[in-house]
Amino acid sequence: MPYPFKLPDLGYAYDALEPHIDARTMEIHHGKHHQGYTNNLNSALEKHSALHGKSAEEILRDLGSVPEEIRTAVRNNGGGFVNHAMFWQLMTPGGASSPTG
- Tell me how far apart the alpha carbons of residues 8 and 6 are, in angstroms, rounded to a whole number: 6
Q: What is the pLDDT of residue 36?
A: 99
Q: How confident is the model at residue 98 (pLDDT cuts 50, 70, 90)?
A: confident
Write the CA distances from 101 to 67, 94, 98, integer angstroms: 44, 22, 10
- Tell me how far apart the alpha carbons of residues 42 and 94 are, in angstroms, rounded to a whole number: 34
Helix (H) or strand (E) holding 87: helix 68-90
Domains, in order of start, for the chain: 29-90 (1.10.287.990)
- Tell me how far apart the alpha carbons of residues 57 and 12 are, in angstroms, rounded to a whole number: 24
Total residue count of the chain as it appears in this document:
101
Q: How confident is the model at residue 95 (pLDDT cuts 50, 70, 90)?
A: confident
Reported as a single tens digit per residue, the pLDDT across 68-94 is 999 999 999 999 999 999 999 989 887
